[in-house]
Amino acid sequence: MSQPLASLVILDRNSAQPLYLQLSSQLMDLIRSGLLQPAQQLPSSRQLAENLQVHRKTIVQAYDELLAQGWLESRLGSGTFVTTHFPESKPSLQTSFDPLQTAGFSFESKPFLQRPPLLTQGSYHLDDGFPDVRLAPLLDLSRAYRHELIRSNAYSRLGYGDPRGSRWLREQLSLYLNETRGLHTSAGNVLIVRGTMMGFFLTSTAFVKPGDYVALDSMSWSGSTLNLQQAGARILHVPTDEDGLDVEALARLCQQHPIRLLYLTSHHHYPTTVALKAERRMKLLALSQQHGFLIFEDDYDFDFHYERRPLFPLASVDTHGMVLYCGSFTKTIAPAFRVGYLVGPEDAITHLSQLRRIIDRQGDTMLENALAQLLEEGVIQRHLRKALRAYQQRRDHFAELLTSELAGRVRFRKPEGGMAIWTQFEGEVNLTDLSRRAFKKGLYFSAGSQYSDSRIPATRLGFASSRPEELSECVRILKSCL
Amino acid sequence: MSQPLASLVILDRNSAQPLYLQLSSQLMDLIRSGLLQPAQQLPSSRQLAENLQVHRKTIVQAYDELLAQGWLESRLGSGTFVTTHFPESKPSLQTSFDPLQTAGFSFESKPFLQRPPLLTQGSYHLDDGFPDVRLAPLLDLSRAYRHELIRSNAYSRLGYGDPRGSRWLREQLSLYLNETRGLHTSAGNVLIVRGTMMGFFLTSTAFVKPGDYVALDSMSWSGSTLNLQQAGARILHVPTDEDGLDVEALARLCQQHPIRLLYLTSHHHYPTTVALKAERRMKLLALSQQHGFLIFEDDYDFDFHYERRPLFPLASVDTHGMVLYCGSFTKTIAPAFRVGYLVGPEDAITHLSQLRRIIDRQGDTMLENALAQLLEEGVIQRHLRKALRAYQQRRDHFAELLTSELAGRVRFRKPEGGMAIWTQFEGEVNLTDLSRRAFKKGLYFSAGSQYSDSRIPATRLGFASSRPEELSECVRILKSCL
């Protein structure tokens, strides 16, 4: 070694890592990189301690460590040496290569998976349709979670559980879904997932093979499209009008291709919020039976419907086991709580739960039980009634603001439910520019490019997460940018 | 209709579902099934109310509902009819078909995914190597979680976050891993996952294509095998001896096939607990660079090492970005808390996080922040020191019991770390029978079939989750069954 060893080692006395571990780690790096060669002799512990100005014990500890691990060998009477058995390696020539930045193995990144991060940090927001988390029953949730944790100091309760999710939550959810949505499920029909995203990931991974034809609304949720691209599906777009999906157009597609799956937001179409009419629902179910395709019914905000009763889901009249029904607590409590449910025929649910087991084993048992407790106590139901009243008021207020403040600038239909108004801008508006200008003034809204590739200047403006006075400020900023 | 409508409807006055919803739901079913035909007239609300013995308002509400939803039409002066637009459907002939049990669409179940449920409900258990959850800092966790929930009543904190996980936890983990394992990471190198299972699911899904060759120890964790089967990999088995993976054998395999990935438990080999010697580690890294395969280093119980210092992971001396390092809080706190981490070159971590985003969007932000808080406060570190002392005592006690009580019946090597002893039974022992007999007497242990297909009567007997007196009882039961 041309350089003395001490000059290659840098010890940081302020680090939380003990000095001897810093030294042993750096010696390994030196051996690894070839700066210390196999069979090379190391300085004595006394000499190295002097050079590094540390206690000799530190050097002895580091050497002992490396001796025990097989990096060094001790030869009686002659000192300490780098093990001879190592493969020789030359100091790397790629000095600019940083293994913390760049993988040494090859891989292809997938452009479709590269999505910009969500920017929702503005003071004001007209978002995709999120709930107002200030209304969420967080204290109740905290109490229930704490209760779960404290009573759970037991082997079986904190061990591995059922990949289908907490039995308690599956039972409570069955009751709740049967009551509110006219379903006829029991716990065996329910798989607890981590939101609609996982529900559709499981479905597309388990049931769609590369090359399969899958039908989607021409405007749709990006999460469904991304998962279908990942599954290698051939995507067919079906037009949507003001009564929802054009089922006749779908019927024509079925004549041309074997359809494997239809992804559908039947209740409040995403993004446009229109409801699929009953007549079309019946035709759709008949079509799915006839052609054998499964329907993934994403009912992301069923509980938020302001005019008369919500439409029962397709799943409630599915007599042939063609529908997988999916919902989540994202809109009920907050997006950060990743709990949702997939409901369907027991054999399909079992199959999906076997796949789920190798993805993340199971959900968060504590949180699932806490939610079951809140459902059993009626806390979630009371929260939903309270939120529904607040959101209806906000919808009405926001619709009035759009009409009075932005007359001639925007077109919209007041939605019967949901948390956002589908808003089309009149004339040659560049929504990307508009949303950037608004963001600089503290208002976030989406430029709408995630809904489809079409060039209509239209987007979802979510009203539920803002109080009426906040909505007024939102519209004031938006108006000032137009 | 030959039968009067009232005889086809069953209303349950004890149900939580309102009567009018029960009625509207059943009318939909009747229309759906063809028992009510398109254009058929319904009885008047007065008449049906009388027949069903309910208030007339109930019938009016149900009819209104169905009129609004488009199932019925009202013709002025002549009454209420089933909509004419529906496709005609005949009453189903398959009367035995139950859509709650059986899907109407076809799918192939995958035999390899069909695994028996874990049976761990016995009074006593010598499990796979789980922690003692009675020692876990649950009160601290509860406090931190509550704090997170209560301070989180804010739009951005409860909204969608970074798919890579809580920044706070990624920073705290980097510090912790750098201190304890000699890594050199920062937050950008860390992806928070829901345990080792998800870490390997992401890796095998993102980096292994169908037909790729992947190398594994001849005995290995079933979670890795299942995920490789799901990914369509060709699995090559590498022998393991008492110094860990036989790297020379792997080198020969590399001559025959292009290896894409090596799955490895380097520190305490799963299931046998032996450590991979330093010399082999160096050769393995050299081999991975030479052949370009990535190493998935599953370090599932690094923190539990009783003799001298644990061996630093391969990742700590990986100068070429060949290693993805994975660990979890499963053994630190309890299996029910699904939080783990994958550490590697930033480009690979970014790629994996893009895939993770379409699986379940993100982890549980509240729980991740609560764990970050416990790491920052040192609570987890103190818990680990306490648990380490307890587990070392239990290991020693259990090893003594095996030696004294089961002399001549079992062979084992006292492990330097981990939570289980790899125990080989002497002679012609049928472990499946033995474990069944023991289970009847209240003791759970695994028959070992999940580790490999080999017929050696050997299994992992986990000692960490039982107190010394419980271990004594476990061995007493085991002895009585032999």
Q: Work out the minimum CA distance from B54 to partner chain A, whole angstroms.
A: 19
How many other CB atoms are there within 10 angstroms of residue B170's CB atom? 24
Same topology, domains A124-129+382-481 and A137-380? Answer is no
pLDDT band at B465 (very low <50, low <70, confident <90, very high): very high
In tens, the pLDDT along B149-187 reads 888 657 878 888 999 999 999 999 999 998 888 898 999
Residue pairs between chains A and B whose CB atoms are closer than 8 Å: 385
Quote the CA–CA distance of A286 and B87 in Å, as a whole number: 8
Classify domain B136-381 by CATH architecture.
3-Layer(aba) Sandwich (3.40)
In chain B, the percentage of residues whose pLDDT exceeds 90 is: 67
> Cβ–Cβ of B110/A354 closer than 8 Å?
yes
> Cβ–Cβ of A364/B364 closer than 8 Å?
yes
pLDDT value, residue A119: 62
From A115, which residue of chain B is nearest by alpha-carbon distance?
Answer: B354
Return the residue in B9, B360, B362 with the most chain A beta carbons within 10 A, the one to mutate for interface testing.
B360
Provide the β-strand partners of residue B236.
B215
Interface of A with B in 242-301 (CB under 8 A): 277-279, 282-283, 285-286, 288-289, 292-294
Domain A137-380: CATH class, spelled out: alpha beta
From B91, which residue of chain A is nearest by alpha-carbon distance?
Answer: A319
Among A106, A150, A286, beta carbon nearest to B142: A150
Domain regions of chain B by residue span: 5-82, 124-129+383-481, 136-381
Q: Work out the minimum CA distance from B138 to partner chain A, whole angstroms.
A: 7
pLDDT value, residue B32: 74
In chain A, the percentage of residues whose pLDDT exceeds 90 is: 67
Among B154, B321, B337, beta carbon nearest to A102: B321
Contacts of A364 in chain B (CB under 8 A): 336-338, 364, 367
Provide the β-strand partners of residue A411.
A424
pLDDT value, residue A3: 55
pLDDT value, residue A99: 86
Determine how β-strand A340-343 pairs with β-strand A323-328. antiparallel
> Cβ–Cβ of A99/B346 closer than 8 Å?
no
From A361, which residue of chain B is nearest by alpha-carbon distance?
Answer: B197
The answer to whether the CB of A16 falls within 8 A of the CB of B175 is yes
pLDDT value, residue B120: 59
CA atoms within 13 A on the CB side of A33: 16
In tens, the pLDDT along B285-314 reads 999 999 999 999 999 989 999 987 778 899
The answer to whether the CB of A247 falls within 8 A of the CB of A228 is no
Q: Work out the minimum CA distance from B18 to partner chain A, whole angstroms.
A: 8
Tally the residues of chain A.
Answer: 482
Quote the CA–CA distance of B390 and A171 in Å, as a whole number: 39
The answer to whether the CB of A123 falls within 8 A of the CB of B119 is no
Residues 6+ apart with CB under 8 A from A116: none
Q: Assign A246 to helix, strand or coil.
A: coil
Region B194-222 average pLDDT: 96
Among B107, B201, B336, beta carbon nearest to A207: B107
Residues 6+ apart with CB under 8 A from A464: A129, A130, A131, A132, A304, A387, A390, A391, A394, A395, A419, A420
**B124-129+383-481 in CATH: which number?**
3.90.1150.10
Among B65, B136, B348, beta carbon nearest to A107: B348
Contacts of B149 in chain A (CB under 8 A): 138, 141-142, 145
* CATH number assigned to the domain with residue range A124-129+382-481, chosen from the 4 options 1.10.3720.10, 3.90.1150.10, 2.40.10.10, 3.30.410.40: 3.90.1150.10
Residue type, A48: L
**Cα torsion at B185, B314, B293, B448 (round to 10°)?**
-120
Per the structure block, which two tokens stand in for A24? 């042993």
- Rounded to the nearest 10 degrees, the angle between the axes of helix B379-405 and helix B468-481 is 30
Asked if A14 is an interface residue toward chain B (Cβ–Cβ < 8 A), one would say: no
Contacts of B195 in chain A (CB under 8 A): 360-361
Quote the CA–CA distance of B100 and B102 in Å, as a whole number: 6
Asked if B99 is an interface residue toward chain A (Cβ–Cβ < 8 A), one would say: yes
Quote the CA–CA distance of A98 and B318 in Å, as a whole number: 11
In tens, the pLDDT along B256-270 reads 999 999 999 999 999
Which DSSP symbol is given to A305?
A: B
Asked if A334 is an interface residue toward chain B (Cβ–Cβ < 8 A), one would say: yes
Each residue's pLDDT tens digit in chain A (482 positions)?
Answer: 445 788 888 888 888 778 888 898 888 888 877 788 888 899 999 999 998 999 999 999 899 888 877 788 888 888 999 887 765 554 444 556 788 899 999 998 888 888 777 665 678 999 999 999 999 999 999 999 999 988 865 787 888 899 999 999 999 999 999 888 889 899 999 999 999 999 999 999 999 999 999 999 988 999 999 999 999 999 999 999 988 999 999 999 999 999 999 999 999 999 999 999 888 998 999 999 999 999 999 999 899 999 877 788 999 989 899 999 999 999 999 999 999 999 999 999 999 999 999 999 999 999 999 999 999 999 999 999 999 999 999 999 999 999 999 999 999 999 999 999 999 999 888 999 999 999 999 999 998 877 765 668 999 999 999 999 999 999 999 999 98
pLDDT value, residue B91: 46
Range ranked top by mean pLDDT from A60-69, A309-318, B115-124, B322-331: B322-331
Range ranked top by mean pLDDT from B99-113, B411-425, B452-466: B411-425
pLDDT band at B121 (very low <50, low <70, confident <90, very high): low
pLDDT value, residue A2: 40
Return the residue in B274, B337, B361 with the most chain A beta carbons within 10 A, the one to mutate for interface testing.
B361
Provide the β-strand partners of residue B232.
none
- Inform me whether the pLDDT recorded for B239 exceeds 80: yes
Domain B5-82: CATH class, spelled out: mainly alpha
Quote the CA–CA distance of A157 and A161 in Å, as a whole number: 8
Write out the DSSP string of B276-300: PPHHHHHHHHHHHHHHT-EEEEE-T
pLDDT value, residue A88: 54
Interface of B with A in 354-393 (CB under 8 A): 354-355, 357-367
For chain A, how far is it from start to end, CA to CA, in angstroms?
71
- The CA–CA distances, whole Å, from B300 to A71, A155, B199, B264, B395 equal 23, 19, 12, 11, 18
ipTM of the complex: 0.87
Write out the DSSP string of B395-459: HHHHHHHHHHHSTTTEEE---SBSSEEEEEEPSS--HHHHHHHHHHTTEEE--STTT-S----EE
pLDDT value, residue A135: 94
pLDDT value, residue B2: 40
> Cβ–Cβ of A105/B293 closer than 8 Å?
yes
> Cβ–Cβ of A104/B136 closer than 8 Å?
no
Q: Work out the minimum CA distance from A167 to partner chain B, whole angstroms.
A: 14
Asked if B428 is an interface residue toward chain A (Cβ–Cβ < 8 A), one would say: no
